[in-house]
Amino acid sequence: MKKSLIFILTAVFALMLAVDSNAQGKVINLKFNDWNPDGTPATTLWKDVVKMVDEKSKGRIKITNYLAGSLLKFPETFKGVSTGVADISLYLLGGAPGIHELCEIYDLPLLGFKNYWQAFRIYTEILNEFPELQAENEAKNVRILSIRPMPAYWIHSVKKPIRVPADMKGQKVIATGYYGTMATYGGGIAMQTGPMDWYSGLQKGVVQHIITAYPPLGVFKLHEVTKYHVQFGEGGCGNSGMAVLINLDLWKKLSAEDRAILVEAYSWYQKAVAESDLKLEKMFIGISKKMNQTFIQLKPAQINQWKNTAGKEAIEKWIARTEAKGKPARKVYEAMQAKIKKYK
């Protein structure tokens, strides 16, 4: 009887140790990747994310940030997360064409958003309402942790502005994903180069224009070489989706608690960096104006030229190509358009 009692007590004690060990858990060391240079407001916020995750996990999750493309170069981002070179990474949807067809809705130009915060709300709602968006990434071993729109895209030019599609003829334009349609529709050439090559390309005349938002224009000092800035109203000519990706194998190993911590932290980042980006936009526009650069606000008729040509072509081609693979492109697009009409 005494031996049985000792055995039972020993087993209970061992179980208590196992539970305590499991509760404490092993430290999870994660590698985070971003191509942006250190010291910018956006990358500074990554330090806050590291601290937030460390505190909420009680030291269980440690994140090391690799910035300025030191872990993965811009074109390698999606593949690098998929294969586990990086555990988590910033990722521009559309930065690797053909990888996730349905998610390319976030990269379509001229969708008609009224303003930035309307786009911000709709991007997250669409991701949450259509599980097919996550499913196509998970098929490639990646999951989206959070998403936001980039600030409004403009056309920035070195020597002469681009107002309508016909002005693109013979021009070389830095444009990722479907924004390349805006260049090629008018007879131009779309150049998909990484951010680290933007400045030298524009300065040396290898390319003459870039379609991007104002914050990256300033961060990479492109306002020093571009002299003309064409705006498509407050909503811009588009807002490419900026996501945070996580390796799916890693995601599956995490507890529900740890998953929630990462989603909360990287969703917080998206809101914080959005507010920072809009401040940067205002600041860099001010700098460009002090440099006596030319700002052009397109008239409604000019914007409609783009919507009825390059915009319509990009959207319809995307729908046809994506639905041919059995994905509900038109349903997602129509849901987004309904939200644009509904929200201010």
CATH code of the domain containing 254: 3.40.190.170
**Any residues with CB less than 8 A from the CB of 55 and at least 6 apart, and which?**
none
Count of CA atoms in the C-beta half-sphere (13 A) of 295: 15
How would residue 37 be classed by pLDDT, with cut points 50, 70 and 90? Answer: confident
In terms of domains, do 91 and 137 share one? yes
Asked whether the predicted pLDDT for residue 17 surpasses 80, the reply is no
Asked if the model's pLDDT at residue 327 lies above 80, the reply is: yes
Rounded Cα distance, 140 and 38, in Å: 29
Tens digits of residue pLDDT in 255-307: 999 999 999 999 999 999 999 999 999 999 999 999 999 999 999 999 999 99
Residues 234 and 245 in one domain: no
Same structural domain, 164 and 78: no
Q: Which domain holds residue 292?
A: 153-238+284-342
Residues 177 and 315 in one domain: yes
Is 46 a domain residue? yes
Q: Model-level pTM?
A: 0.84
Question: Does any domain span residue 3?
Answer: no
Q: Are residues 178 and 52 in the same domain?
A: no
**Domain count of the fold of the chain:** 2
Q: In terms of domains, do 212 and 306 share one? A: yes
Least confident of 175-179, 238-242, 281-285: 175-179
**Residues ≥6 apart with Cβ < 8 Å to 25:** 60
**Is residue 178 situated within a structural domain?**
yes
For residue 13, tell me if it sits in a domain.
no
* pLDDT computed for residue 25 by the predictor: 65
Q: What is the DSSP letter of 309?
A: I
Last residue of a domain, one of 227, 258, 280: 280
157 & 218 share domain = yes
Q: What is the band of 145 on the pLDDT scale with cuts at 50, 70, 90?
A: very high
Let me know if residue 170 belongs to a domain.
yes
The number of beta carbons lying within 10 Å of the beta carbon of residue 128 is 11
Residue spans of alpha helices (H) in 139-231: 180-185, 198-204, 214-219
Both 167 and 48 in one domain: the answer is no
User: Domain check: are 213 and 76 in the same one?
Assistant: no
Residue 41's pLDDT band (cuts 50, 70, 90): confident
Q: Are residues 294 and 201 in the same domain?
A: yes
Residue 156 pLDDT grade (very low, low, confident, very high; cuts 50, 70, 90) = very high
CA separation for the pair 111, 129 (Å, rounded): 19
pLDDT range class, residue 23, cuts 50, 70, 90: very low
Asked if residue 270 and residue 312 are part of one domain, the reply reads: no
Q: Is pLDDT above 70 for 92?
A: yes
Does 165 lie in the same domain as 66? no
Is it the case that residue 165 has pLDDT exceeding 90? yes
Which is higher by pLDDT, 63 or 234?
63
Residue 8 falls inside a structural domain: no
Mean pLDDT for all residues in the chain: 90
CA–CA separation, 151 and 283 (whole Å): 13
